């Protein structure tokens, strides 16, 4: 293993787990040839940890994804695929013998996007006010808990019933916190498709996206006294949505001060595959308004449309247009508010051209909400100053303090 890589940093870095492979699958053409090496490698690394005297401090494991599940609904019927059992069962047995957890990557976003007809948006986004799925006497308000409990059930079946039934932070195990790890240290900026490029905690140049504090005191029970526990990934998309919602509340507060008109038609330019701003506005602030999302990438609009298609109300009020906004003119007069995303215009000159185009075609008195950059964010996005908004009266400039979400300029068309 090269225990030197751990021992040299042991005094200053707390190592808890070493994962042997990420989402290796015997039925995935890209990783199938590696499956035969996972368990032997886990044994070798465990032996190296033990020889270094660190077996009580560091656990060895591997991370799986949900493609290994054969059934996940209802959660109590969760089971692994028959054609992966010969791969997984020995791994689970080994983890049980060394009292180590199995790591699992759970993405509610992908599950929802893959089945928008049956999975409602509130259920996927942790916002459902009531139970959506009943499994016997267990009620599920969100897709994440249901998926995790299905994984618990699959593990119990795979272990032949040897797993001790323990309590956890889901309807199946309700009274214990679930240990969490944050997956994707860095953005995979060269990865396809587009939606998976921005899940990291750090930008590709190693600058942090979030002000993370791992030193807060909290009484988490993360012992491995039980045969196998499950760790999970909670998508960074949820955290991003919380940050975005705080900003939207601030923007709405500012907007109410500068305009007495409640907008009925809103346009988003550069909405992308995950139109968080329009979704939050449509569901929490402007429940009758229509939202027109413009993006130059048809695949981004397709993914966004799949995301909202399971919500009948949003489906009636949200529209997606495959267009370069520079080729849109007369339609711009129909919108009382236009949002311009930070990624529209990759440099200042290009972004100013877009602003000038909007100034030419927007209706007098219409509001422009422009995403700009401030501080460290200026390394990623063009900085727009008030003097760049020719044809607009700048009403307010707001800079978030979290360094994650871009600044907002609110301006009115003359």
pLDDT band at 196 (very low <50, low <70, confident <90, very high): confident
- Considering the segment(s) 4-234 as one domain, its CATH architecture is Alpha-Beta Barrel (3.20)
Q: What does the buried/exposed string (b/e) look like for 141-160 if buried means 16 or more CB atoms within 10 Å of the residue's CB?
A: bbbbbbbbbbbbbbbbbbbe
What does the alpha-carbon distance between residue 242 and residue 254 come to, in Å, rounded to a whole number? 19
pLDDT band at 178 (very low <50, low <70, confident <90, very high): low
Checking if the pLDDT of 208 tops 70, the result is: yes
Q: What's the whole-number average pLDDT of the chain?
A: 80
Mean pLDDT of 18-37: 90
pLDDT band at 384 (very low <50, low <70, confident <90, very high): confident
pLDDT band at 375 (very low <50, low <70, confident <90, very high): low
Which has more pLDDT, 238 or 193?
Answer: 193
CATH number given to 239-413: 3.40.50.150
Would you tell me the crossing angle of helices 35-51 and 85-97 to the nearest 10 degrees?
10
pLDDT score of 334: 96
pLDDT in tens, 86-141: 999 999 999 988 888 888 888 888 888 888 888 888 898 888 889 999 999 999 99
> Taking the domains of the chain in order of start, what are their residue ranges?
4-234, 239-413
What does the alpha-carbon distance between residue 255 and residue 258 come to, in Å, rounded to a whole number? 5
pTM: 0.53
**Closest by CA position to 102, among listed 151, 145, 160, 143:** 151
Note the Cα 347 to chain centre separation in Å. Answer: 27
Candidate from 21-35, 138-152, 196-210 with smallest mean pLDDT = 196-210
Checking if the pLDDT of 281 tops 80, the result is: yes
Checking if the pLDDT of 30 tops 70, the result is: yes
pLDDT score of 104: 87
pLDDT in tens, 310-356: 888 899 999 999 999 999 999 999 999 999 988 787 678 889 999 99
What does the alpha-carbon distance between residue 20 and residue 389 come to, in Å, rounded to a whole number? 53
Candidate from 168-182, 199-213, 307-321 with smallest mean pLDDT = 168-182
Query: What's the order of all strands across the beta sheet hosting 102-104?
Result: 17-22, 59-64, 102-104, 230-231
pLDDT score of 325: 96
């Amino acid at each position: 293993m090269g225990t030197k890589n751990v021992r040299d940093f042991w005094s200053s870095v707390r190592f808890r787990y070493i994962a042997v492979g990420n989402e290796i699958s015997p039925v995935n053409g890209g990783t199938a040839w590696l499956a035969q090496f996972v368990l032997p490698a886990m044994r070798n690394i465990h032996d190296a940890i033990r020889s270094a005297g660190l077996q009580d401090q560091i656990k060895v494991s591997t991370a799986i994804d949900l493609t290994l599940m054969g059934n996940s609904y209802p959660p109590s019927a969760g089971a692994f695929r028959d054609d992966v059992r010969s791969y997984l069962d020995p791994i689970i047995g080994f983890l049980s013998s060394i009292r180590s957890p199995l790591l699992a990557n759970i993405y509610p976003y992908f599950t929802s996007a893959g089945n928008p007809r049956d999975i409602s948006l509130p259920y996927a986004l942790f916002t459902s006010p009531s139970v959506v799925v009943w499994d016997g006497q267990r009620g599920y308000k969100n897709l994440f808990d249901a998926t995790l409990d299905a994984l618990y059930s699959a593990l119990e079946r795979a272990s032949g019933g040897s797993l001790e039934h323990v309590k956890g932070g889901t309807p199946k195990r309700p009274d214990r916190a679930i240990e969490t790890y944050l997956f994707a240290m860095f953005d995979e900026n060269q990865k396809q498709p587009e939606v998976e490029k921005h899940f990291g905690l750090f930008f590709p140049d190693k600058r942090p996206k979030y002000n993370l504090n791992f030193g807060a005191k909290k009484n988490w029970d993360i012992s491995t006294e039980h045969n196998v526990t499950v760790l999970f990934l909670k998508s960074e998309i949820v955290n991003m949505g919380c940050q975005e919602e705080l900003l939207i509340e601030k923007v709405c507060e500012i907007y109410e001060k500068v305009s007495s008109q409640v907008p009925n038609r809103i346009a988003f330019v550069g909405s992308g595959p995950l139109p968080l701003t329009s979704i939050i506005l449509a569901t929490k602030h402007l429940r009758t308004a229509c939202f027109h999302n413009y993006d130059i990438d048809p695949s981004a609009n397709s993914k966004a449309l799949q995301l909202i298609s399971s919500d009948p109300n949003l489906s009636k009020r949200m529209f997606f247009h495959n267009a370069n906004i520079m080729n849109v003119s007369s339609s711009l007069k129909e919108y009382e508010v236009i949002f311009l995303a930070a990624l529209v215009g990759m440099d200042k000159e290009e972004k100013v051209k877009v602003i000038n185009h909007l100034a030419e075609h927007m209706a007098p008195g219409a509001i422009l909400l422009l995403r700009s950059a401030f501080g460290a964010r200026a390394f990623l996005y063009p900085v727009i100053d008030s003097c760049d908004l020719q044809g607009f009266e700048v009403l307010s400039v707001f800079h978030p303090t979290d360094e994650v979400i871009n600044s907002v300029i609110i301006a009115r068309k003359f």
